[in-house]
Structure 1
Amino acid sequence: MTTKSPRPGRASGLDRVLDALSFVCKLLSGTAIVVLTLIFGWLVWGRYVMNDTPTWVEQVALLLIMLITFLGAAVGVRENTHLGVSYFREIVPSRVRTWLMVVSHVFMAVFGAVLAWNGYKLAVLKWESSIPLIGVSEGWRAVPITACGILVLLFSLGHLVAIARGERQELDVSELVE
């Protein structure tokens, strides 16, 4: 699903802030993917060339995967690239489509709030535990969950504000082809 502003090139202040947050998430996720690739290269080198496997790689990789996955999911909400079934929404009249979009973003905002709250509770619960081999708090595994929840909430609210202001009009499939 793609969104279109009636005034191309003139994004609102809220859109600019949310786009900047989305960009930071993409930057962090991209950096994490590069680091993940490098440490797995080190793992292979250590295991097969040096015959000395670095044991910390697996735990760091799990932390990086959490970061990549949850920040990427939040960006998907901002850019409307998250998994969704749009067939029914695209065959209904424009007014119904707008209401379906509102309902969808409200559900996403509620989901983001629940994700943030429970991610925070998990981080607090696990903060005193330590991840084996790297010695950092187990709570760091839940920090990306909490951040994702907050970002999903903010991005969904941003979509709702844009719809309320009439700044976004959802496109028909036929308009995407043109």
Structure 2
Amino acid sequence: MKEKLDRLVDSLMGVLVLGMTVVVSIAVFYRYVLDQPLSWTEEITRMFIVWLSFLGAYAAMRENKHIGFDLLVAKFSPRFKALTDLVGQILIGIFLLVVTYQGFIFSYEFLGVTMPYTDISIGWFYYSVFPVTGILMVTQTVLAILQTLKNLKAAQ
């Protein structure tokens, strides 16, 4: 199930990059070749960038590719290293739960607000990125906590 979800997220990121490339190309063509700039292209491109950034953060999280500073932690015993991983994952989980909860509230509050040129709901298409990717990241964090607990048992 998780593998299918990850493939879906990866495919969505590919579609977003492709869509962004197409929209920016259209914007450049209309602005510099036809001398008729389009107003909606900036809004769509910005929306694609926001979603791509947050989905990319999830992809980096699931592959453990975020920047880390482990100079000190690398010197710990395997058991203490697992304990610090567990504490870190729990703190990350708490933060992500707050972001997800507040994201639901924020996106709901802005459902009726639309972007000026495309008339797309800001709450639905912009701010919904917080609860959607928040749920993905919380799920990944729970899986990481379970793995850390296994590592902690193995280190005994």
Displacement after TM superposition at 1:23 (Å):
2.4
Provide runs of 4+ in structure 1 moved above 4 Å.
none
Q: % of aligned pairs identical?
A: 20
TM-score by length of 2: 0.90
* Separation of aligned partners in 1, 2:22 and 2:59: 24
Displacement after TM superposition at 1:109 (Å):
1.2
Structure 2: runs of 5+ lacking an equivalent: none
Aligned residues: 153
TM-score by length of 1: 0.80
* Separation of aligned partners in 1, 2:72 and 2:133: 28
Structure 1: runs of 5+ lacking an equivalent: 1-16, 170-178
Report the equivalent of 2:140.
155
Question: 1:94 and 1:166, CA in 2 relative to 1: closer, same or farther beyond 3 A?
Answer: closer
Root mean square deviation, CA, Å: 1.8
Q: Is the 8 A contact 1:32 1:64 kept in 2?
A: yes
Question: 1:150 and 1:32, CA in 2 relative to 1: closer, same or farther beyond 3 A?
Answer: same
Report the equivalent of 2:92.
108
* Separation of aligned partners in 2, 1:163 and 1:23: 24
Larger relative contact order (CA 8 Å, sep ≥ 6): 1
* Separation of aligned partners in 2, 1:71 and 1:42: 24
Displacement after TM superposition at 1:166 (Å):
4.2
- Higher share in helix: 2
Does 1:91 pair with 2:75? yes
